[in-house]
Structures are given as C-alpha cells and as structure tokens.
Amino acid sequence: MADFLPISKRDMKKRGWTQCDFVYIIGDAYVDHPSFGHAIISRVLENAGYKVGIISQPNWKQPESIAVLGRPRLGFLVMGGNMDSMVNHYSVSHHRRRQDAYTPGGVAGMRPDYAVTVYCNLIRQTFRDVPIIIGGIEASLRRLAHYDYWSDKLKRSVLLDAQADLLIYGMGEKAIVEVADALNSGLSIRDVTFIDGTVFKAKNLDDVYDYQLLPSFPELKQDKASYARSFYTQYCNTDPFIGKRLVEPYSEREFVVQNPPQKPLRTEEMDAIYDLPYAGTYHPSYEKLGGVPAIQEVKFSLVSNRGCFGGCSFCALTFHQGRIVQTRSHESILKEAERMTHMPDFKGYIHDVGGPTANFRQPACEKQETKGVCPTKQCLFPKPCKNLRADHTDYVELLRKLRALPGVKKVFIRSGIRFDYLLADKDPTFFRELVKYHISGQLKVAPEHVSDRVLTLMGKPMNSVYKQFVEKYRHMNERLGMEQYVVPYLMSSHPGSSLKEAVELAEHIRDMGYMPEQVQDFYPTPSTISTVMYYTGLDPRTMQPVYVPTDPHEKAMQRALIQYRDPKNYALVYEALQKAGRQDLIGNGEKCLIRPKRVGCKKRR
C-alpha cells in the first residue's frame, strides 16, 4: 500500500520535510482513492515533485486548526469536498441531513456551511499573505455569480466571498501543475492570470484581452432576465476549443475573469493520473471511528470515462467536467481491476465500470476531438444528431476483458446508462450483453418524467423513446430467458411541471403497476439550466416563461402523487386531484388512483 501524505508535523518529520509546498484543506475525510478529488490533485502535485500535506475537516471555529502543518512554501489549496457543502448538509426541503458519508463514522456536521468560504476566511486570519487557491465542485460551480437556493438569493463569485486569490474550475489536473510551476518559478499569485481552467480577480481590464463582457453583478441582481441571458452565455462558453474568456464586473475597480476551460485529457494523460500510487482507502486514523462510508460505493468500482454529452438541464456536468468524453485505456483499467482482485476483502464483484454516463466511451463525434462541441446544439436532444457516433464496440470489448479476469465473478454497471444513446446503436451486441451479464435483477435508468413538455425543459428524450427502450428490454430478457426489471428514476417539481403534469406522471406509474420507493424532488443546485429556470421563471435557452412550482405544499402534493399508493399520502393526493380537476381519478374504478373518502369513518381502511 502506498504511503498516505502527511497529516501532521510528525508525518512531515518522517519524510524529512521541514515545510510543505502546499497545504491542502479539505471538507471531506482524507481518502486516498481516485474517486475523491483531493486524492487526485494531491497525487498529481506529488508526481510533479511538490510536497503536499493534508488537513482534513479542520475545526472552523479555531483558527489554529489550519496551522497544524505550518506555513506552506507556495500556498494553501482549499476544497469543500466531493459534494457542495450545502447539498451535503441539507435536503431539498432544507432539513438537516443526519449522516455524512464523507466523514469518519458517517457523523454529520463536521464541516461548515459554505465550506470553501469559511475555510479561506479562516486561513486569512492566520496567514494573511499566503496564496489561496480554491477548487473542487463547490468552487467550480460557484465561480461566477450564481443563484444560491439555501439563502434564496443571487450570490457573488465565491472567489470574492472567500477572499481567495485564484480559482481552478473543472477537474483541474493540468491547471494545478501549471499554477504550482508558476508559483515555484517566483511568480506572484497576482500575476497568475494566463492559465486555462482558472478564474482570477482584476482591478482593471488593461491586461485582459480577447474577452466577452457579461452584465455586471448589480445588473444581475436587479434583473432576473439579465441573469438568465448571462448564464446562457456562460453555458455556450464551456467548451475548451471555442470558449471565450468571460469578464463579470462587480464595480468599476473589481472584476472576475474566467479563462477558457482546460483542454480535455488525452487517454495517456488519463492513464497517468489513475496509475498514480493511491493507497486506495481512507486514512488509517479513521479506523477506530468506523471508517468512511463513502469508500464502500467506489472501492471496487472502476472509472472508465469522464465528461458527458447527455446535456440534462438539471445536471452541472457541462459546467464542471464538460461535454467532451475522455477515456482511460483498457490496459489502465485492467491493471487497476487486477490489483483489485488481490485485495483481501474483494469477493469477486466489480461494482461498476463507468463514469457520469457509463456507456459513453468516446466523444459524440469526430469534430469534438479537435474543434469542440456545438455551443447551441445538443448531441442527443431533442433527437440524436446525424453526426453522432453511437457505437458501444469499445465498451463491449472492455467489459469482456474484465469478465475474463481470474477472480472476477461478475461485472456490474451501476452508473447511468443513457438509453436513447443505446437505442441509437444499430448493433444489438451491447444491449444483449448488458442484459445477460451486467445487471442483477434490476436495471436503473432515468427517464425522469413522462410529460413531453417537462422532458423538453429537462433536456431529456421524449417519453416514446423511453417506452421503446422498455419494450426492447422486455423482449431481450424474454429471448435470453431472464426475468429482470427496469427501475425508473423519477423527478417531481421540476420547472414546467404543474399539478397537471404531476397527475400525468402518476397515471403512468399506475399503468406500470409499480410504486417507486425513491422520488427525487428537483433540487436547485448552482450552475444548471434548471436552477436558472427555478430562479428566473425563464428558460435561458429561449427566454420563454416557465411555470415553476416553488410553494412547499404544492411540491409535497407533486411528490405524493408519484407515491400515491402510500396511505400516508392520501390527503395530499386527494387535494392534488381536486385542484387539478381530476376527480375522475378518485373512485373505485380500475383507473382511479385513490378511493373516495368514507364519510363517518375515523380512519381509512
């Protein structure tokens, strides 16, 4: 097992260090596994020759907690964790979560709200002149002005609120080494303004060139339509080949400048990152606390790709990983899988081989590899582009090699399958092998809704496509003599969904004869098209008005309709059907969702 990076002065002394080049402050427990962003960034820096120490979940009420490794030579790195700290802490109904899978023992409350901002302000109290570089999902998706659901207001770039010097957005492996090299060469952090995938502050625009000016923050706060247009400009500039430099003014002497995204990683670069000497688990100091629950989901899983050209409106992947799919080689993945089979607790099951979308193993078309993505068009929505390469050949070959490894009993695919992309492939080989080898009774897919109006706003395929997939899946199981089912992920209260559409979804569930155990209320997280709809009431792509269910009671009714069979939801479902004018669904007929109220009965039987 590889050595963990230092977490104390004692660890530094064992390595013969007197000072770290970088001290990395993270909101998660220290897990040295490539599914954790801090593990990748720290190992990439180590591989580049830099000394990195880790401070995990410091006590934000005690400034000395961020000084346990001393003053770093080049700077502090800060990330809130693998999740935005507010999503980590709160459900969509603002209830505090009781567990945190990224904390030892699953204990909640070990990081602050808005962790990046709090940690950086803590550093500034003790080390006023040391460079602070922020990154990770929380910083990446809050890099420019953004709607914050938890405070219900438009917030400034986190770069300003955190008092940080530089922000690295996206995955950041290339950018972090370039930043480190610039600082190591003696360059001031104020002069590190030229690196792709970074955001910096400027007092004027004299030295900023070839940029597109966004509306000012005061204008965005005053006019929601202006914010919707600004966001769509950002959305159209997320491509590393054609994306422009963007400038967001805050005052006459305060600007936030976003450089274009970093270029996608080549396969050799991806391989090099995943071949670094990770320990593969959490720091041993957590053992007595019960370990870190999040490792269980990824310990025996394999990352095959990153990036996603699916383009769902409610997903922030376009803003973080980008739309160009990047992949690891078969050799790199097989080498990791072979190491996995020798782990003492490996039982023969590889839990997943995938990424944001498991069955994307190449860019959507050849053009994307050199010229980037189409800024205002989607690869799969509303229909697959005529230039789309719908081909699972490489993925099939990879899965066959993994199945053939000694010690491997079964290879599951648990990350998302994009069913419209699967249907676009004329070769049925992958579909057949998926059903035969890679499912355990149930295949989870994400149609999200059945109303074509809502699906259009979601950026998802029409309901007829999902129906076609389900029918084809059923036939494939029959041909193979297997009995397996589709489990659909469904979302309530997405912008565009009124009670009318929610009832339509409930009727679909009735006809399936299936009640979902889990329902996801739409959760407005930073930097998604759907969140902009929620905040502004406008679709930023068309600037057309969108109905937005914001009232908590209506949202509760929409959610209850999806689980209308649950007796606890009877009153909400009854009220929803009355308000939607669908009393025809209250009765004793086979198409009715609920029975009538029984007058004189104290409780419903």
Quote helix, strand, coil % in the chain, to nearest 5: 35, 15, 50
Rounded to whole angstroms, the Cα distance separating 71 from 66 reads: 9
- State residue 512's pLDDT score: 85
Nearest to 301 by CA among 395, 433, 171, 414: 414
Rounded to whole angstroms, the Cα distance separating 253 from 249 reads: 8
**Residue 76: enclosing H or E segment and its boundaries?**
strand 75-79
Rounded to whole angstroms, the Cα distance separating 4 from 11 reads: 9
Nearest to 11 by CA among 83, 79, 67, 68: 68
* Residue 153 C-beta-side C-alpha neighbours within 13 Å: 8
SS3 119: helix
CATH number of 9-200+254-258: 3.40.50.280
Residue 467 identity (one-letter amino acid): K
Nearest to 313 by CA among 149, 85, 491: 491
Question: What are the φ and ψ backbone dihedral angles of 255, each rounded to 5 degrees?
Answer: -135, 145
Q: Is 513 exposed, middle or buried (0-12, 13-18, 19+ CB in 10 A)?
A: exposed
pLDDT, average across residues 200-210: 96
Percent of the chain whose predicted confidence (pLDDT) is above 70: 99
DSSP state of 596: P
The two three-digit tokens of residue 126, written as one number:
């003790």
Distance of CA 234 to the CA centre of its chain: 18
Nearest-10 crossing angle of helices 429-437, 393-403? 30
pLDDT (tens digit per residue) in 9-28: 999 999 999 999 999 999 99
DSSP state of 277: -
Residue ranges of domains in the chain: 9-200+254-258, 488-605
pLDDT, average across residues 320-344: 96
pLDDT (tens digit per residue) in 360-393: 999 999 999 899 999 999 999 999 999 999 999 9
Confidence of residue 599 (pLDDT cuts 50, 70, 90): low
Q: Which residue has the tokens 């029959």?
A: 478
This prediction has a pTM of 0.95
Alpha-carbon dihedral sign for residues 32, 34, 40, 46 = positive
DSSP state of 59: -
Nearest to 25 by CA among 37, 34, 11, 10: 37
User: Average model confidence (pLDDT) for the chain?
Assistant: 95
Percent of the chain whose predicted confidence (pLDDT) is above 90: 95
pLDDT (tens digit per residue) in 535-580: 999 999 999 999 999 999 999 999 999 999 999 999 999 999 999 9
